[in-house]
Structure 1
């Protein structure tokens, strides 16, 4: 008589995470969701290597003079940074700006799409600032952020709305803002500003969709890779079918070893393109511990933005097929019955699932080398 086959673990076993980290890792490994081990060490910080013009501008709170295109940095990561030519730091850590790890609490990034404003004018004032962000129980990162978190706030507007935007830089490093939903002269609107300075511009989104926003200051790889990104969701004028709507921003983490419990973002490591974590909404595996919950019969709409900075997102829901994937601006260019679809770095797409049966449905980057590094969650469909 043969021994009975072992029963596979249930996804719900991972929802209530045991207090013993070793027990959680053992459970997670059954699903191929191994978490990278975190090492102790020290992080690097770089001295202030800004140009004399940058330092003078910082002292007065003004932007440095614009450089002509012929004087742009010879950097392949540059996005026509027309304001400042500065030496990029190799680490996101800045002395005296990051509080200790013990003072930083974990919070789940709310994936729910915020409601639309009743006004056709959306006024936004973002602040670029350094902040420590706890992305897991045992990892705190020294991030460059919009509004103190990564990703930055979810922005929601309609096609044709007026977006009045201001960025104020509270950081020691020059920053800027590039909205992919805008059609505007980037040399003026997306210019970099130094500490204490602001830049303002107005735009009207022409197309519906899931769009990325990010700092466009050279090297863009360092600024996006250190946390300066987010999503702007532009809804069509005619509403889409009723649905539970969620926003997922995939991003990669390239981190140094810890110094006083905090890990900095590491530019040479970004160039290696081998991330430590790949996440949805800035925290590895956060929607396993605290899943997204819906009811049977509901339509779920995922607005997915891939902030990169380097790798694609191969989006898939285990046990489901996408009823609708919008290749262009919703509601146009819809295709049906899709199992997996790639979203390029800097891109965004809209995915819909009809939740016909109850269960636990993992949503994942099906490029499992990255899915196993944290870009996975659970959609719980309840009766």
Structure 2
């Protein structure tokens, strides 16, 4: 049977919606906490300059709504998350996402863009237990997750929504770590990142020809590569024991075989 978990979310999804603005834009955020919510929620934007990233201004009890605005002063790819104490619990329950602040000229065009975030789930029940799972505050405090996931649940980017591209296409992955606790060693098995915007700094020159990129909790990176050979590529955190706890995604590349490159 399936394992089921009660997530806390932004807009009913994990990660929350991908937000895309331009440097210098004023961003207006409206946050409404559902009537049937169990507790207060808010949002802290790492892209905002101001106390708490907006957390205090958006803190809403069940049934309440609040709004605030911030000016996006710095280009980059930034995490946002709920920051109601205990913050780690709200993040582990799914309340995280990414906001891209594009530079004045935007980003260079690519064929495919993907949004991937890594997170942890802490449950009383052992990994793989069927039925409704209970969140474990003890395991959270001791940083012992039962699950490591891409995009919210085991299988999200494998059997459910694999990434897809064609031979010859260029791919950009906006990658972030909600966490709340673990740093990712992000790697795509069988691919080399042509360009990596380390720490998601898009105003710095990218690193070139990179195998694995470190992405801290509450941080992000942008990786770009060209798909040269067809087949199935596996997205992992190269701390590979985590693959046994659910952390994997597929990029399926379709097209002609390329025996001069691989075969």
Q: Where on the TM-score scale, by shorter chain, does this alignment land: which range?
A: 0.7 to 0.9
- Say if 1:295 and 1:355, in contact at 8 Å, map to a contact too: yes
- Say if 2:4 and 2:130, in contact at 8 Å, map to a contact too: no
- Say if 1:168 and 1:196, in contact at 8 Å, map to a contact too: yes
Tell me the alpha carbon deviations over residues 285-338 of structure 1, each in whole angstroms, 9 at most, x when there is no partner: 332224211011111101011000000111001111100001253152311010
Match of 2:122 in 1: 254
Match of 1:154 among 11, 18, 39: 18
1: distance between equivalents of 2:109 and 2:7? 36
Task: Give the alignment of 1:295-374 within 5 angstroms.
Answer: 295-327=166-198, 328-374=200-246
Match of 2:75 in 1: 208
The structure that has the greater radius of gyration is: 1
Is residue 156 of structure 2 the alignment partner of residue 286 of structure 1? yes
Query: Per the alignment, do residues 143 and 286 of structure 1 end up closer, same or farther by CA in structure 2, a change over 3 Å counting?
Result: closer
- Say if 1:157 and 1:235, in contact at 8 Å, map to a contact too: yes
Query: Per the alignment, do residues 355 and 331 of structure 1 end up closer, same or farther by CA in structure 2, a change over 3 Å counting?
Result: farther
> 5+ unaligned residues in a row in structure 1: which ranges?
1-136
- Say if 1:299 and 1:354, in contact at 8 Å, map to a contact too: yes
1: distance between equivalents of 2:236 and 2:248? 4
TM superposition score normalised by structure 1? 0.61
> 5+ unaligned residues in a row in structure 2: which ranges?
256-263
- Is the partner of 1:240 in helix, strand or coil? coil
Q: What is the deviation of 1:260?
A: 10
Task: Give the alignment of 1:1-383 within 5 angstroms.
Answer: 138-170=2-34, 171-186=37-52, 189-191=54-56, 192-243=59-110, 244-257=112-125, 261-289=131-159, 290-327=161-198, 328-383=200-255
- Say if 2:22 and 2:106, in contact at 8 Å, map to a contact too: no
- Say if 2:196 and 2:223, in contact at 8 Å, map to a contact too: yes
- Is the partner of 1:288 in helix, strand or coil? helix
Tell me the alpha carbon deviations over residues 11-69 of structure 1, each in whole angstroms, 9 at most, x when there is no partner: xxxxxxxxxxxxxxxxxxxxxxxxxxxxxxxxxxxxxxxxxxxxxxxxxxxxxxxxxxx
| Structure with greater strand share of residues | 2
Q: What is the deviation of 1:234?
A: 2.3
TM superposition score normalised by structure 2? 0.87
Q: What is the deviation of 1:248?
A: 0.4
1: distance between equivalents of 2:38 and 2:248? 34
4+ residue runs over 4 A deviation: none
1: distance between equivalents of 2:133 and 2:206? 42
Q: What is the deviation of 1:193?
A: 2.5
Q: What is the deviation of 1:198?
A: 2.2
Q: What is the deviation of 1:229?
A: 1.4
1: distance between equivalents of 2:130 and 2:176? 33
Aligned length: 246
Tell me the alpha carbon deviations over residues 323-358 of structure 1, each in whole angstroms, 9 at most, x when there is no partner: 000125315231101000110000011011111222
2: distance between equivalents of 1:216 and 1:324? 32
